[in-house]
Amino acid sequence: MPDKTLVKRYILEFHERDFTGVISRELRVKTLPGRATVIIGPRRAGKTYYLFSLIDGNAPERYLYVDFEHPVFHPMTPRDFIDVLDAYHELYPEIKRLVLLLDEVQAVPEWERIVRYLLDEGYTVYVTGSSSKLLSREVATHLRGRALTYTLFPLSFREFLRFKGVEHGGREFYRNMAKINGLLEEYLHFGAYPEIALAPEDVRGLILKDYIDVLIKKDVLERHRVKNVYLLNELLYFSLRAYSKYVSFDSLYRLFKGRLKLTKRTIANYFAYLEEAFALFLVRRHGRSPKGRIVAPRKLYLIDTGLALFGEKDAARDVENAVFLELLRRYSTKPGVEVTYWKDEAGREVDFVVSENGRVKELIQVSLRLDDERTRRREFLALLHASRKLNCKNLKVITLEDEGTVEVSLYGMKGNIELVPLFKWLLGGERLISSCDEV
C-alpha cells in the first residue's frame, strides 16, 4: 500500500513542473464517457510525453498523472489505488472533473480493474503501457469494449521539423527550404524517434542500438521465451537488410533448414513476435483471393529508418519505408482503410495500394528519381496496368524532386500521373483519401 504522504508529495511536485516546453504531437484523440483513451505504439515513440502534452498548463491540478513504475506506487494493487485518489481529493477537494493519466499500467497486477472502476465513477481516463510483461497492443485488448485505441508512431516529418525548431508553414517554407531539404536527409538517415531528433549526432547510433537491444531482449526473447536465439538474431539481421523488400517464409525456411532444426511455423512465429513489438510491419499483397493474399510474399518495413543503420542503408528503400510509415500515420484512425502492394503475373509492381472498405482509392509508386527513361517507363507502365486492373485513376509517383502532372500513354493505356517531391508529400498533413472517381 503506497504511503499517502509520499503520494501527495508526488502529486504536488508533478503539478509544479513546467509543461510549456513539451512539444505537441499531431495525433488527435477523442474521449467518450465510459471508455478509456488508450495510446499504444513502439517503445520510445513518446507516449509519456504525449500524455504530458494533454495537460492544460494553466490548470495542471485538474490532472492526476500516475507513473506506475515510480517507486512511490510500488507495490500496488487495484484496491490501493483508492488511497491514491483519496490523497488527490484531500489536496484538491474543490476539483470534481478530474482527468487521470495512467502510464505504464502493466506494472500493476489486474490493472484493468482500476481503469474500469474509474470509468464507472465517471472519470476521464487516458492509458499507456509498454513492457515485456504487457505489450502496448494488449493494453487495448484487456479493455475490449471499454477503450478507444490510438497508435503513436515515431515523428512525422512535420513533427520532426517542429522538434528542430524549423517552421514550414506559409512564407516560412520558402525561407527555410534549404534547411528543410537538409533535415529530410537527416530524417531518412537517422530516423524519427523523438530522442534521436534532439540528440547530438555522435550518440544517435548508440541510442538506436540500445533501442534494438531492449526491444529484442525484453519484448521478444524474455516475453516469448524464445529458444532459438540464433534464428531470431538471423531474422533480425535479415530484416535490417531487406527492409522495403519482399520476404517469403518459404524461402527463409529453405535458407535455414540445412543449418538449423526449425519449421516454417517457427519463422512465422518469430516474425509475428517482431511485429507485435512494433519492430517491423509485413504488408500483404493486394488481391481478392484470401488464399492468394495469405501465400503471397509480404513486403517488410521497419518501424523507423534509423534502425537500418545496423543493416544495409539504402536511400531508395529509406524513402519507400518513410512513405509507408506516413501512410500508417494518416490512416491508422480511419476504419476500413488498408495499405497493400500490387504485383501482377508479369512482375509489374506498384508499391502502395490504398483501399477503403475494399475499394481502391489511390495507387502510389515510390522512386528516388525519374531521370532514367527506363525507370520512368517501368514506374508509369506498372501504374497504368494497376489502374486498369483495379479501376483507379488516382495515380501518384513520389520522388525526391519531380513535380507536376504528366499525361501518359503506353500500349493503348492512358492516365494522368501526379509527380510529387517527397518533402512536399510528407509535409502535406492529414487529408481524406481522394476518390478514384473524382480524379
pLDDT tens digits for 220-256?
A: 998 899 999 999 999 999 999 999 999 999 999 999 9
Q: What's residue 238's pLDDT?
A: 95
**CA angle, residues 293, 296, 298, in degrees to nearest 5:** 95
Partnered with residue 47 across adjacent β-strands are none
Q: What's residue 131's pLDDT?
A: 67
Q: Which amino acid does the sequence have at 177?
A: M
Taking residues 391-408, what's their average pLDDT? 96
**Residue from 424, 374, 381 nearest 399 by CA:** 424
Rounded alpha-carbon distances, angstroms, from residue 185 to 316, 381, 400: 12, 29, 10
Residue 13 has pLDDT above 50, yes or no: yes
Do 294 and 312 meet the contact criterion of CB atoms below 8 Å apart?
A: no
Q: Alpha-carbon distance 241 to 223, whole Å?
A: 25
392: helix, strand or coil: coil
Rounded alpha-carbon distances, angstroms, from residue 372 to 133, 139, 241, 378: 51, 49, 25, 10
Residue 377 has pLDDT above 50, yes or no: yes
DSSP H helical ranges for 277-415: 290-295, 315-331, 373-390
pLDDT bucket at 438, cuts 50 / 70 / 90? very low
Taking residues 287-310, what's their average pLDDT? 91
Task: Quickly name the fold that domain 4-151 has.
Answer: Rossmann fold (3.40.50)
323: helix, strand or coil: helix
Hey, what long-range contacts does 410-415 have (CB within 8 A, 24 or more apart)? 410/377, 410/380, 410/381, 410/384, 411/381, 411/384, 413/384, 413/385, 413/387, 413/388, 414/384, 415/383, 415/384, 415/387
Q: Which amino acid does the sequence have at 321?
A: N
Do 354 and 337 meet the contact criterion of CB atoms below 8 Å apart?
A: yes
Taking every pair of C-alpha atoms in the chain, what is the biggest distance, in angstroms? 79
Q: What's residue 322's pLDDT?
A: 98
Residue 415 has pLDDT above 60, yes or no: yes
Q: Which amino acid does the sequence have at 382?
A: A
